[in-house]
Amino acid sequence: MKSKFSALMALFLPIFAIAEDKLDSGDTAWMMISTALVLLMTPAGLALFYGGMTRSKNVLNTYAMVMGAFVLAMVVWIIAGYSIAFGAHENATLQNVFGGFNHILLDGIKWGDLSGSYPTYVFIAFQGTFAAITVAIASGSVIGRMKFSTWMVVVALWGLLVYAPIAHMVWGGDGAYLFDEGALDFAGGTVVHMNGGLAGLVLAILVGKRSGYPKQAMKPYSILLTALGASLLWFGWYGFNAGSAFGANAVAGVALLTTTVATAAAGLAWMLIEWVIYKKPTLLGIASGIIAGLVAITPAAGFVSIGGAFIIGIGGSVIGFFGVVTLKKMFKYDDSLDAFGIHFLAGLWGALMTGVLALNDKDLLWDGPMKESADRMGQFIVQLESVGIVALWTLVGTIIVYFIAASLTGGGRVSEETEEIGLDETLHGEKVVND
């Protein structure tokens, strides 16, 4: 019966004629699930996390900026982003930075092509969710004052000019600059979190502070929604980190546990810091610590021991707290929902600590460039180079993208009247609660 069914499928549905000796059904199933988990992180987890922290008159705009970024970024990824990130350029020099245009609209990629032991189509979708959440992270810095039209143009251009080249340099394989240098980024500490967090800060500075900031109290709409968003992000992050093992394997198990340990430790650390300083542990603080821990462990999830996960998680929480509470006041920038304070700084910490704490036993975790403990300082230098190049590319690229977007939309900032009334009603014609 089985052979007859296979013969029928081969006759009437040629798409089933995949090389079954190479395709692993377990890996394929895990990567499809991981893709769905990462997808959940943006239009549900991140949108709720951000939406709960913003003012009631801008809740729907906040959600729209995250969800709008996700859907547009995914389309841009399919059109050209994937090709730039993972394509091949004929010019070896340009291949250091750009993947080329050989896969525009996925040209040249067939349904039966494999990425290792699972379909390339699944890999494309998985990586697309990373591209989408990265730019969505940046929205948290400009909530309450950027035009929605400007934001959408930023999303489209930024995905092609900033995200895709960075993804290529770090993850693009042989010929890609930082990949060849041996930079370690297991699931996106530099590519996603440093990138999105710094882009948010740059946009926040360029668009200007919210009216009344910091003198006027700007109370969050619902901390409960923020906590729910943090929980959904933690849930989806298992696809983010464990999925980056690219299979249902032992490294995925390591990444799952290190993610759990680092996140729990970070949430506890933030709570204790607040308890000591302010004498009150807050739900918002616990949720913020959770996100800081998730961000910090992301570049290291498949490379470090459980002890390393504790160090990275707690350190990420401490540096995130410093960024949110101290650094922002010190430099007086208006990072509305602390995308820079948490994502960039915790991502930076995690990326650097990956060089310090990564294990080099290939039988346990990975067969990377660091063969002996004496090479650890060399790996740290590579990590420094990696974060520096990513930061510089993001800084310059985001400035260019913003000015192009602002010129196309007649300025990037909403009017004073629009900001005062609220962006939900003025830009979208909706209210979070109807009378």
**What contacts 314, CB < 8 A, 6 or more positions away?**
265, 266, 269
Tokens of 54: 């913003």
* Amino acid 361: pLDDT: 52
Confidence of residue 360 (pLDDT cuts 50, 70, 90): low
Confidence of residue 91 (pLDDT cuts 50, 70, 90): confident
Q: Per mean pLDDT, which range of 20-29, 242-251, 303-312, 321-330 is the poorest? A: 20-29
% of the chain at pLDDT higher than 90: 85
Tokens of 157: 């251009």
In tens, the pLDDT along 363-401 reads 344 444 444 444 778 889 999 999 999 999 999 999 999
Confidence of residue 200 (pLDDT cuts 50, 70, 90): very high
**What contacts 82, CB < 8 A, 6 or more positions away?**
103, 106, 124, 127, 128, 164
> What is the Cα–Cα distance from 226 to 230, expressed in whole angstroms?
6
**What contacts 134, CB < 8 A, 6 or more positions away?**
73, 163, 188, 191, 192, 193, 195, 196
* Amino acid 142: pLDDT: 97
3-state secondary structure of 372: coil
pTM of the full predicted structure? 0.92
Instruction: Reply yes or no on whether the pLDDT at 72 is more than 50.
Output: yes
Tokens of 136: 């969505």
Give Cα 355 to chain centroid, integer Å.
20
In tens, the pLDDT along 323-342 reads 999 999 999 999 999 999 99
Q: Which residue has the tokens 């006759």?
A: 11
Q: What are φ and ψ of residue 412, in 5° steps?
A: -90, -10
> What is the Cα–Cα distance from 302 to 413, expressed in whole angstroms?
41
Mean pLDDT in residue range 10-18: 40
Instruction: Reply yes or no on whether the pLDDT at 51 is more than 90.
Output: yes
* Amino acid 432: pLDDT: 87
3-state secondary structure of 146: strand
> What is the Cα–Cα distance from 170 to 412, expressed in whole angstroms?
31
Q: What is the DSSP string of 287-338?
A: HHHHHHHHHHHGGGTTTS-HHHHHHHHHHHHHHHHHIIIIIHHHHT---TT-
The domain locations on the chain are 24-420
Q: Per mean pLDDT, which range of 195-199, 281-285, 305-309, 359-363 is the poorest? A: 359-363
* Amino acid 313: pLDDT: 98
> What is the Cα–Cα distance from 142 to 335, expressed in whole angstroms?
7
| Average pLDDT of the chain, as a whole number | 91
Mean pLDDT in residue range 60-74: 98
Confidence of residue 89 (pLDDT cuts 50, 70, 90): confident
| 368 vs 216, more confident | 216
Provide Rg for the chain, Cα atoms. Answer: 22
> What is the Cα–Cα distance from 87 to 253, expressed in whole angstroms?
29
Instruction: Quickly name the fold that domain 24-420 has.
Output: Ammonium transporter fold (1.10.3430)
* Amino acid 120: pLDDT: 96
